[in-house]
Structure 1
Amino acid sequence: MFMRIGSSKELNHETLTSLGKISAASDWRGAGETIDANLFRLKALHKLMQAAEDCDADALVDVDYREEILPRTEHPGATPLKRVCATAVAVKLKSA
């Protein structure tokens, strides 16, 4: 399935039916890791697309990303963790 994605609230002026807001997140990683952050955005987006397919959506609109940080735990030497969270509105496109 080909999933259409838009960062605004519309897709090329098509008629959309909102199925609801969905979210997904990348895996946790050490906050100090030097791995490219875009890789984790892509992982979160991939999981978001899977969630959209599960609810039979044709597209995602109003896609947004944020970083979530889990501070140090009570254990000495523990590293803070972070992940990328993605949210969007899953939509169904009007059939022609």
Structure 2
Amino acid sequence: MRKLIAFDDDTFDKLKQLARDRMATFQELADEAFADLLKKHGIPIDLKDALRKSARLAAEPARNPARKSTKKPAENGAPPRRSREAKT
């Protein structure tokens, strides 16, 4: 699938130079950049990544049971009162 992306001239020149320096194509740079962006936001790139993430999420509740709050509510149903620090 082809999509059009616009760059300013300076950015495009720098990207072309980076591709030359790395002996890569512009497409390879774009693929790497978008894969990194998806990974940063936790979005699986391919089926293998999706399965890995799904397995991790399924195993997590078993390892980390939900913690119960140790705070006791006030007897009258009101929220607990905060103590005031003495002013000097």
Of structures 1 and 2, the one with the larger relative CO (CA 8 A, separation 6+) is 1
Is the pair's TM-score, using the shorter chain for normalization, greater than 0.5?
Answer: no
Instruction: Give me the TM-score of the superposition, normalised by structure 2.
Output: 0.29
Structure exhibiting the larger radius of gyration computed from Cα positions:
2
Q: Which has the higher helix share?
A: 2
Instruction: Give me the TM-score of the superposition, normalised by structure 1.
Output: 0.27
Q: Which has the higher strand share?
A: 1
